[in-house]
Structures are given as C-alpha cells and as structure tokens.
Amino acid sequence: MANIIDGKAVSARVKEEIAKETAAVKAKYGINIGLAVVIVGDDPASRIYVNNKKKACETVGFTSYEYALSAETTQEELLQLIDKLNKDDNVNGILVQLPLPKHLDEKAVINSISPEKDVDAFHPVNVGKIMIGEYSFLPCTPAGIMELITSTGVEIKGKECVVVGRSNIVGKPMSMLLLHQSGTVTICHSKTQDLAQHCRKADILVVAVGVPKLVSGDMIKEGAVVIDVGMNRLENGKLCGDVDFDSAKEKASFITPVPGGVGPMTIAMLMKNTLTAAKIKHGIE
Ligand code: NDP
C-alpha cells in the first residue's frame, strides 16, 4: 500500500519558505516584488486559476497586478500591454493565462514576453536554457513534480524514469529535469507501442496525458513512485487523474492523489519563479 504524497502540504511548505525569503529580501533591499497576471476573455476555469494565483501572491507577500481584458482584445492590443509590462520596473513576472481566445496567436504572445520576466518558462530562450541545464526558471508543473519526488526521499540518479506525455509544458521539460538528475529516461506518447511494457519498467513514473485512468495498477512496477499530472473533469463534475488511483496505490511505494497532488505545486513554483526573477533583477544572491 503506497504512501500518499501530500501536494497541499509540500506546496504550503514551499510557499512558507518563499514568504520568509520575500520578507527578508524586502526588508534588506527595500524592494517590492510584483507579478502581472493577464487574462483575456471569461473562461471560468482560467478565472479560477487567476484568482488562485492572486491569492498565492498575497500569501507570500507579492503585489499582484491583474489585467482582465475582453474576449475581443486584438493581438496588437495584447502585445502593447506586454510591451508595457516588460518595461515596468514594478513588474518582476508576467503571466499570460492560457489558453487564449482562438483569434490570438499564443506563440507570438509568449515570444513577446521578456525572458527575464517569463515566470512560466515558456519562452524559447528559457526552454533552450532548460535543455542545456543553465536555467533561471523551470516550468511550474515539472518543477513542482521535482519537489514532490524530492519529498519522498527517493533518489532519481540511476533510476528508470518513464514520462508518459510529451507536451511542451509538462512531458518534455519533465523528461529533461529527470535526465539532469541522472535518471534513465523514456518518453512515451500516443504513438508508443505497448505503453504498459514501458510503464512496468519505471521506478519513477510520471503520467501527463489527459486520459482518465489510462495507467492502471497492472502497468506499475512494485515499489514505483507514481506521479499523476492528469486533471480530467468527469461528467459527474469530479476531478480524475490519468492513473487509476485505487489499483495503482496497491503497487506503488509513493503516489500523488488527484486532486491534492501535483495541482497545488504548480502555483507554488510560479511564486518561486517570480521571487527568482526579482532577485536576478536586483542582483541578489
Ligand atoms: P497535452 O494534451 O498537451 O499532451 C498530452 C500528451 O499525452 C501528448 O504528448 C500525447 O501524445 C500523449 N497521449 C495522449 N493519449 C495518449 C495515450 N493513449 N497513450 C500515451 N500517450 C498519450 O496535455 P498536457 O501535457 O498539457 O496535460 C496533460 C494532463 O495534465 C492533462 O490532464 C492536463 O489537464 C494536466 N495538467 C495538469 C497540470 C497541473 O497543474 N496539475 C498542469 C498542466 C497539465 P502525442 O504527443 O503523440 O499526441
């Protein structure tokens, strides 16, 4: 029977550390730390995420600046706002809540954010830095997962690590971080033949697919660490992961629940990146 990895508790600890460091930095250097959150349109899920990010800013002692733009905002207007935020000394981090309405070019918007303020770490400059292991920011979800794995005390070095999913925001950077920690990494995706066989090799299994209960207990090696990134909303309104928790917990040594596993970590790591951005700007070690 697996130990349940408590993402809420780890996230609270990370936010507490950030709050302490923020208070110390503010007191010593007399600076303010600011995160600008841009939301376009009125997608209810995006609204919840943005509110949670603002709340987290308050918790750790940052100033949050919200820019709620109408769904009709043009590309030009959005790029102008980002340009203004890039130049604004009060703003250390810029987050554009995705997805954007269809008429906007997401890639161009991400590329317009100054890499120094790109606290989501989606800008190609930051993606490239992750590849060569010389990064300032890590994308929030994979960074949060690394914290969760660390919290188990299980060492990554030399372990068989299998990542299911190869998206730019989760699967690919996740694989890179495990590789940087000297894991032996396999990346699986929708064209992988015999997914179960790959999963069964994993000492550390990270599943980021978006298919409810794709990975079941019989696909898991005895004693594996299982990280379920999936957040699938079922018809009954409940959230469900990509891993079948009930059967998987019988095989895993550690497993994340959904909700309460990876989810809470993402915002904590966003706060960490914003603090890092402010420290770099002010030359603080
Ligand atoms: P994407 O849809 O961008 O990527 C999904 C990946 O899964 C793709 O690489 C796809 O393969 C692969 N895949 C799809 N079906 C299968 C299958 N049957 N077998 C093997 N691989 C498959 O999703 P994201 O990475 O953005 O998100 C994944 C999940 O994580 C979602 O449920 C999302 O809601 C959740 N999520 C949770 C976050 C959190 O904070 N907890 C943050 C971000 C995401 P291919 O490339 O071949 O198409």
pLDDT in tens, 216-270: 999 999 999 999 999 999 999 999 999 999 999 999 999 999 999 999 999 999 9
In the chain, % helix, strand, coil (3-state, to 5) comes to 45, 15, 40
Nearest atom within ligand 1 for CA of residue 242: 32
Calculate how far, in angstroms, residue 204's C-alpha sits from the geometric centre of ligand 1.
17
Q: How confident is the model at residue 25 (pLDDT cuts 50, 70, 90)?
A: very high
Mean pLDDT of the chain: 97
Nearest atom within ligand 1 for CA of residue 263: 41
160 CA to centre of own chain: 22
Protein residue closest via CA to atom 18 of ligand 1: 190
Q: Which residues line ligand 1 (CB under 6 A)?
A: 141, 164-167, 169-171, 188-192, 195, 208-211, 214, 229-232, 262-263, 266
Q: List the one residue out of 280, 284, 240 whose CA is nearest residue 93.
A: 280
Q: Which domains does the chain have, with CATH numbers?
A: 30-114 (3.40.50.10860), 140-263 (3.40.50.720)
Nearest atom within ligand 1 for CA of residue 191: 47
Provide the total of helices (H) and of strands (E) in the chain, helices listed first: 10, 11
Helix (H) or strand (E) holding 30: none
- Rounded to whole angstroms, the Cα distance separating 136 from 277 reads 8
Nearest atom within ligand 1 for CA of residue 241: 32
By the 8 A CB rule, do 215 and 207 touch? Answer: yes
Q: Is the pLDDT of residue 1 over 90?
A: no
Mutation to probe ligand 1, out of 98, 175, 189 (largest number of atoms < 8 A from CB): 189
* pLDDT value at residue 130: 96
CB environment 11-41: b (16+ within 10 A), e (fewer): beebbeebbebbeebeeeeebebbbbbbbbb
Calculate how far, in angstroms, residue 82's C-alpha sits from the geometric centre of ligand 1.
28
150-181: pLDDT as tens digits:
999 999 999 999 999 999 999 999 999 999 99
Q: Is the pLDDT of residue 186 over 90?
A: yes
Calculate how far, in angstroms, residue 165's C-alpha sits from the geometric centre of ligand 1.
5
The alpha carbon dihedral of 273, 278, 281, 284 has a sign of negative
Work out the average pLDDT over 120-131.
97
Protein residue closest via CA to atom 22 of ligand 1: 190
- Rounded to whole angstroms, the Cα distance separating 91 from 39 reads 16
Protein residue closest via CA to atom 40 of ligand 1: 263
Q: How confident is the model at residue 208 (pLDDT cuts 50, 70, 90)?
A: very high
Work out the average pLDDT over 107-119.
98
* pLDDT value at residue 29: 96
What's 101's DSSP letter?
Answer: P
- Burial (CB count <10 Å: 0-12, 13-18, 19+), residue 53: buried
28-55: pLDDT as tens digits:
999 999 999 999 999 998 999 999 999 9
User: Catalytic positions, please?
Assistant: 53, 97, 120
* pLDDT value at residue 138: 95
Calculate how far, in angstroms, residue 128's C-alpha sits from the geometric centre of ligand 1.
21
Mutation to probe ligand 1, out of 192, 209, 214 (largest number of atoms < 8 A from CB): 209
Quick check: bond before 259 cis, omega within 30? yes
The amino acid present at 42, given as its one-letter code, is D
* pLDDT value at residue 170: 97
User: What is the value of pTM for the model shown?
Assistant: 0.97
Calculate how far, in angstroms, residue 214's C-alpha sits from the geometric centre of ligand 1.
11
Q: What distances in angstroms separate CA 123 from CA 108, 170, 256, one per listed residue? A: 10, 14, 29
Q: How confident is the model at residue 285 (pLDDT cuts 50, 70, 90)?
A: confident
Q: Which residues contact 262 (CB under 8 A, 6 or more apart)?
A: 7, 141, 144, 145, 148, 227, 228, 229, 256
Q: Is the pLDDT of residue 195 over 90?
A: yes
Q: List the one residue out of 239, 243, 191 whose CA is nearest residue 220.
A: 243
